[in-house]
Chain A
Amino acid sequence: MVAIDFGNVINEELNKKVIALSNYLSEHPLTGMIEVVPAYSSISIYFDIVSIQRIHHSRKVHQWISNELDKLACLQFADAPSNSKIIRIPVCYETEYGTDLPWIAGQKNISTDEIIRLHTSVRYRVYMLGFLPGFAYMGEADEKIIVPRKLQPQTVQAGSVGITGRQTGVYPLQSPGGWQIIGRTPLKMFDRDTDELCQVKAGDSVEFYSISKDEFENY
């Protein structure tokens, strides 16, 4: 695996470049490319070096790869076609599900209603998927609800909506998690029985909207 790093920052323009290059590589795979994985500001490419050697046996595979990456760096992706979608995600923000809402309200000295209003008033960008199947790293959350990670990860239920720093995300499966939990969606973020497998992909936009406990239970 090799990684192409564009810098250690969360930045929408950079992330657009990452996804454009990633889409380009998926459509124009390099020799021996197994898969390409975009992150916030970097791309990782997995290679089958046996098949590269078979074709380019006169050179060392790592030299061949590094040469290919140099060529990629010269490409421009100014107007990459976009296939991103806008996905609306229903969230029940009752404290039964949003277990950390009271704590955040105390820390930030704002009401839980205000936290919900702030969280639902932003259209988020899906920067990358990772950590768990279907877990989307989204940003940017409002400055007024910036909270740190928990010191010790705790068990988080599937569908839980969390925030930390300027990020927000939904836990698709029950898992240990360190983000502060503010609600829960009845939507299956990861579903092995659908063709897409996941509700969102990198580059998509997400809006959250509030639903009642009743709506959550009967969703």
Chain B
Amino acid sequence: MSLRIIKAGLLDTVQDLGRYGFQHLGINPGGVMDRSAAQAVNLIIGKNPGEALIEIHFPASIFLFERAAMISLGGADFSATVNGEDVPLWQPVIVAKNSILQFQKWKQGARCYLGVRETLQIEKWLGSYSTNLKAMCGGLNGRALQKDDVICFSDKYEYASWLGDKEFLILPWKADIGWNETPIDKIAFVPGNEWDHLTDDSKKRFLNEPFVIGSLADRMGYRLQTDLQVMHNGELVSSIVSFGTIQILPNGELIILMADHQTAGGYPRIGHILLAHLGVLAQNRPGDKIYFRITDWQQAEELFFKQHRHLLQLQNACKFRLEEFFNASH
């Protein structure tokens, strides 16, 4: 008795930062789609960045807290409410026993993360909490959350002295998630092995045109409807692909591989999206327009470490704030 699903959402799964070490068996890493949002959500409640949390799509599940807990939400904005009252993203919230967390209306983004300070009683499979829907392993019973599922908490914290008779309490600080001073209006990529298979005209189009994310856009991959041309036809010998690989299909469409991608692929690899930009991409939905920007490994590395340093600062700041809060006398 802890966290009960009273209504199932479209696709809500237990995730972490992925399952590495088994791709040679065809078992892909999976894990959260928006790594920076998910890590921030864990940090806000004083957890380590790689702990289990719930990735939520819209329409979302309805959650009942059968015990008091401290939670945080981040990523997409689905107008979260506790017992009908708005609760913000990126802030710790203490919810009383029997509170209902609900997501009322889609506002922005594609994937919202729910972190809980209490330890979720989920068994690791091959070293990870991530749900592998294809293998039906990991997460909660290897599948998306369903009505009447219960995730138990294996530890207990006392909140009564802070909550009083309130149904929930929003702690008075907010995580700064703007690690990049300039907004990311173009998704950066480094050229892949087959970048030069594109015709000059198609390269120009790739770097200048907007691309609309098609209706086939899920945790496996994003299809971009276009008609780019390659100079060499024919498939390649299958090789290993990863989260962020941009492939061109025989009909000229593009597919960007996302968290639940297959481990191997045989289509030309146009490029690889920067790890630091995958989170932004993961918050795009069918119909959204994206632009690409070419860059190199040097900048990819700089942006990654910039984001990493920001998360480390956030981790320290959150720990300090939480300690300060819980140590304050009441």
Contacting pair A133 B25 (CB below 8 A): yes
- Residues of chain A contacted by B135 (CB below 8 angstroms): 133, 173, 190, 192
Contacting pair A39 B238 (CB below 8 A): yes
Contacting pair A41 B237 (CB below 8 A): yes
Given A3-B239, A39-B240, A192-B125, A132:B23 Cβ within 8 A: no
- B residues apposed to A, CB below 8 Å: 20-27, 125, 132, 134-135, 137, 193, 236-240, 242, 262-264, 297-298, 300-301, 304-305, 308
Tell me, yes or no, whether A67 is within 8 Å of chain B by CB: no
A133 partner, pick from B134, B237, B304, beta carbons under 8 A: B134
Query: How many pairs, one residue from A and one from B, have CB atoms within 8 Å of each other in the complex?
Result: 106
Chain A, residues 1-44, CB within 8 Å of chain B (1/0): the string is 10101001110000000000010000000000011111111111
Closest A residue to B263 using CB positions:
A130
- Residues of chain B contacted by A37 (CB below 8 angstroms): 23-24, 240, 263
Give the bracket for the number of chain A residues in contact with chain B.
35 or more
Tell me, yes or no, whether A197 is within 8 Å of chain B by CB: yes
Contacting pair A175 B21 (CB below 8 A): no
Contacting pair A40 B238 (CB below 8 A): yes
B134 partner, pick from A22, A43, A175, beta carbons under 8 A: A175
Closest B residue to A196 using CB positions:
B25
Docked Cα-Cα span, A134 to B263, in Å, equals: 11
A-B contacts, 11 of them at CB < 8 A, read A1-B242, A3-B240, A44-B240, A49-B304, A62-B300, A130-B23, A130-B238, A130-B263, A135-B26, A197-B22, A197-B27
Given A50-B308, A130-B238, A192-B125, A39:B264 Cβ within 8 A: yes
Q: Could you tell me which residues of chain A, from 127 to 159, have a CB within 8 Å of some CB in chain B?
A: 128-135, 137
Tell me, yes or no, whether A198 is within 8 Å of chain B by CB: yes
Contacting pair B25 A201 (CB below 8 A): yes
Q: How far is the CB of A189 from chain B (nearest CB, A)?
A: 10
Contacting pair B301 A134 (CB below 8 A): no
Docked Cα-Cα span, A46 to B132, in Å, equals: 20
Tell me, yes or no, whether A61 is within 8 Å of chain B by CB: yes
B25 partner, pick from A39, A43, A198, beta carbons under 8 A: A198
Tell me, yes or no, whether A205 is within 8 Å of chain B by CB: no
Docked Cα-Cα span, A60 to B264, in Å, equals: 29
- Residues of chain A contacted by B240 (CB below 8 angstroms): 1, 3, 37, 39, 42-44, 130
Contacting pair B239 A129 (CB below 8 A): no
